[in-house]
Structure formats: structure tokens, C-alpha cells
A = this chain, B = another copy of it.
Amino acid sequence: MNFRTDLALERKEYIRKGELDGIKEEKKEVHGVYVTTITVENEKGEKLLSKPKGKYITVEIGSFMKNADLFSDKLTALSEELSSLIPKEGTVLVVGLGNEKITPDALGPKCISLILATRHISEEFAKAIGFERLRSVAAIVPGVLGTTGIETAESIEGIAERIKPSCVIVIDALAARSTERLGTTVQITDTGVSPGSGVGNKRNRIDKNSIGVPVIAIGVPTVVDAATMAADALQNAGMSEEETERLLRSYEENELMMVTPKEIDNVIDRAAALVAMSINSALQPDIPAEDILAIVS
């Protein structure tokens, strides 16, 4: 398993049959949308999948490029899966990871610009403008280590200590193995995240251990590593795993390269809108999604 991917679903495909000890998989169709939940149950599963213990929910939403319709069953399906993981009470801190100046890495920051922040709105004012129940939400873009000098985990910890959220939701761009996944799949997990896995390098993990409250990560694959793509081409051509690995070493310069859809700017815009609105809907179930969109956009 030398292919880089942040999707539990893709990692599982490379485990040999009969070896699924510690890993559970459930598939369902909700509102016409395919949802796969992979649960890593124990250390055995962690080793097999190279992913920490917890749930990995994959929602297949098809091509964003061909469907601009935001208020669809995709939104409902995503929102429901998210709701199942979010505590019912307390402030939720939503965090957009990634670098807004690198298009395929800008998913997180773009999402945050569409999240309805409400923590500063008093109950009286909320009622006065017609919102009976408004969940307390804060939304931040911590920036990347290279430009802030601060690990994302440090920023989130510092702010979480101040505002005491009951849960943190982090949004990040992911890397996939297959180009078919780009912009067409959403992964939701209760295991947190290692910032920068989408485009840059691994950083301090952001999860319940480091932050002290549940950390839900929601991501969309936006890039395939160039080396991974070349390896795929070789294996599809019948080359052995060993031979592929040997050849890949000659592709090291390609670590600076990524594969993205030609329409990546559109893919990011649409994925950001869908993810942000599914978070908004999960957090404010009493406000129609259309009304929230009118406020944030």
C-alpha cells in the first residue's frame, strides 16, 4: 500500500480479503445518496488501515461540476450524517484548515466564509429577529504554519481554551488515490485530522486528545499525488507491486506536482458551498437552509 490517500474507503480497497479483523463496513442508501461507514474498532484495525480508531463516513455526492443545485438530497444526507456525530448542546467551533492562496487547498477557508457564526448574538437579539433557537457557533481560519509561525493545533487549542466549545469541526482538503474521487466524495470522521495532508506536510494531530473535546473532521478530496497517479497507471498496465515501487523512486521530483481537475476553481467553490451549508443545517436545524444562505452570502 504505497499509494497516498486520505480516504479510509480507498485504503480499505487495498487490504487483502479475509484480513478485515478490527474493521467493520456498512453501506446504505439515504435519499438516493450512497453512504459507506467504515469503523476501525481496535489496534488491529488501526494497523491494517493506517488510520486511528473511529468512524469514517463516506458520502458519494457525484460530480459537483455537473450539478449546481445546492439544496438537494446530497445536502440532507451530509447534514444528517454530521448531526449524528455532533453533541446536542454547547458552542461548536468550526475551523477551516488549509492555504487560501493555493486553490485546491482552499476548501477550508472558503467554507468558513459561508458558516453562520452566532456565538456573539445575544438570545434576546436572536429572538427579536425571529430565531427562537440559535446554536452558538464560532468559525475561524487559523492559517498555515508557513505564514503564521504557529502550528494549527496550537491556535485551535488556545482559542478552544477561551471559548470552551463542546465540539470542534475541522474542514480540510484531502488527497485521493483515484482521480474519480476528486470533488465527488465527502469523508466525515470522528477521529480528527492531521493538518496539511491535502497538499502540504503532516503536522501535529488535531483530535480529542489534543483539544480535549470531540473533533469531527469533514473533507473533500481535491488532489491526487502525481506519483500516486503514475503508480496507478503502472499497476493498471499489469506491473507488479515491487516493480512499481522501484520505478516510483524515479518520480521523486513529482512530489512537487499534483493532479487536479481542470475546473478546480469551480470544484472548490461548489464543494465549499455544499460542505458549509451541510454544517449550517446540522447546527441550526430550525432555520431553513435557504435563509441561512441568504444571510451568509
Contact = CB atoms under 8 A, between A and B. Distances in A.
Interface residues of A, number: 71
A151 interface: yes
A262 B253 contact: no
A120 B151 contact: yes
A294 B150 CA distance: 22
Contacts of A159: 150, 154-155, 158-159
A149 B134 CA distance: 13
B162 A149 contact: no
Interface in A222-272: 224, 226, 229-234, 236-237, 239, 243, 247, 250-251, 253-254, 256-265
Given A68-B294, A239-B237, A149 B154 contact: no
A4 interface: no
A175 to B, nearest CB: 11
Counting chain B CB atoms within 10 Å of each CB, the highest count among A159, A160, A294 belongs to A159
B264 A102 contact: yes
A265 B103 contact: yes
A157 interface: yes
A179 interface: yes
Nearest to A293: B68
Nearest to A180: B253
A149 B119 contact: yes
A138 B146 CA distance: 10
A97 to B, nearest CB: 15
27 contacts: A69-B294, A102-B264, A117-B149, A119-B149, A119-B150, A120-B145, A120-B146, A120-B149, A121-B149, A137-B149, A139-B149, A140-B148, A140-B150, A154-B163, A179-B254, A179-B257, A180-B253, A199-B262, A226-B259, A231-B233, A233-B247, A234-B234, A236-B247, A237-B237, A257-B260, A258-B260, A260-B260
Given A103-B264, A120-B146, A179-B253, 5 more contacts: A157-B162, A158-B158, A179-B254, A199-B262, A256-B262
